[in-house]
Amino acid sequence: MSTPSYLRLLKNMTAFGAIKGGNFLIPLVTLPYLVRTLGLEGYGSLNFALALAQFLAVTIQYGFTITATRQIARIQGNHRKLNICYSTYFYSTFLLALVGFAVYLLIVFMIPEFSRDSYLFIYCGLYLAMQAMVPVWAFQGTEHMPMLTWIFLSTRLLFLVLLICLVQDQSHVIRVALINMVCALIALLLALFVLHKQLKLRLIAVPLGSIRQTIKNGRDIFIAQFAPNLYKNASVFVLGLYSSDLVVGAYSAALKLIEVTVTIGQVISSAVLPILARNIQHHRLYSQVMLGLGILFTALVVSFSHSIAEFAFDSTRKELVICLQVLSISITFVYLYTTFGVNYLMLQGLDHLARNLSVAVSLVGLLSLLVSVPQFGYIACLAVVVTSRMLMGLGSVALYQLNQSNQRTR
């Protein structure tokens, strides 16, 4: 890796770290405030709505963080091709947002349990939809992530200020969703402005056929990234159907804390992705770093789960501590899947292998949730999430080794 590449990697990794850190550390700071202000019940109902809206967000993103980043990284220096690529992917995102939100609204108003809190579901849907529309892939592929850092950090700080000023009791659950929505809209508009002014990227007319082809080409990666929501986000959703808001709140809080450690791996992987897209030879060193970090974070969370629960939530409720301890086992397996599934199979054009693995594991996970949660509650959610992540991680390693073996025999 040349020195300029190393410096770009360090710069973009720092930017990703700032963005992801803002997205998770600010919620980590506000999480105790929300739990105390809204109560576990109010916090649980908010996360119940966000769990449904997350399916919309994943649909809009459509795996473009991989496909668009991969393509843009390979055509840097050709501004005409960059404009075509940027326009095609953004129009595809916009089309998916329109169709996806229409379906989302239909679901909300057709189901009485959702329609009773329709404003909460609508604001959560708009928040995650607009957040998903931010063209992170454009900044990532051109390796200009620091420009996006200030946008995300400033809007997250705005969220923090508005939250403290406007959310003060249990009746203000809907205000949290509304504040998130407003901040996401500001971030989207600022990102488009910066791409236009600073990077000189222009939205130009592209054939409708190009948009259709882009959506078709990204189908395997979309399915591979969407499928895990069938067990992860659905675990919150299904648990909410059969358990109290208090239990949902404890499970959601633990899951969110575990995602903080997962995010560190995503920061490294996202920063490395453009480099791996151009030269896969660096994958071996990258995989060693990721495996070491995954094992380290698992050990730390298991060892200090009581202290973490008390510090973050001022609570050592049995459900919260158990959730933290069990979910921490999954950290290493998520790192394995990110390393060998996302940043190898998908980069090497083996999208269909990642898709098949993801779909198979996720469908089994969803069926397991539907069968076991009514009887075993949050314990079933923990077992399904950890087992599914283990199968995804080990399965991606097996596919990587199989591909390496096939290459050596050619």
Instruction: Report, as an integer, the average pLDDT of 245-251.
Output: 78
pLDDT of residue 186: 94
pLDDT digits (tens, 9 = 90+) for 326-375: 888 999 999 999 888 878 887 777 878 888 888 898 889 888 988 888 88
Residue 98 has pLDDT above 90, yes or no: yes
For 304, phi and psi rounded to 5 degrees? -120, 30
Residue 296 has pLDDT above 90, yes or no: yes
pLDDT of residue 315: 55
- 16 pLDDT tier (thresholds 50, 70, 90): low
In percent, how much of the chain has pLDDT > 70? 89
Tally of CB atoms within 10 A around 216? 9
pLDDT of residue 394: 94
- 3 pLDDT tier (thresholds 50, 70, 90): very low
Of 262-271, 289-298, 350-359, the poorest mean pLDDT is in 262-271
Higher-pLDDT residue of 122, 319 = 122
Mean pLDDT score of the chain, rounded to an integer?
82
Radius of gyration of the chain, Cα coordinates, nearest whole angstrom: 21
- CA dist 180 and 195 (Å) reads 23
- 1 pLDDT tier (thresholds 50, 70, 90): very low
Where do the domains of the chain lie? 1-217, 230-404
Query: Which of 113-117, 123-127, 220-224, 402-406 holds the top average pLDDT?
Result: 123-127
Q: What is the DSSP letter of 143?
A: T
- 82 pLDDT tier (thresholds 50, 70, 90): confident
Instruction: Report, as an integer, the average pLDDT of 367-387.
Output: 88
Q: Is 100 left (phi over 0), alpha (psi -120 to 50) or beta?
A: alpha
Residue 275 has pLDDT above 60, yes or no: yes
Tell if the pTM clears 0.75, that is, is over it.
no
Cα distances (angstroms) measured from residue 341 to each of 35, 301, 375: 35, 24, 33
pLDDT of residue 2: 44
Q: Considering only CA atoms, which of 297, 322, 292 is closest in space to residue 309?
A: 322
Residue 147 has pLDDT above 80, yes or no: no
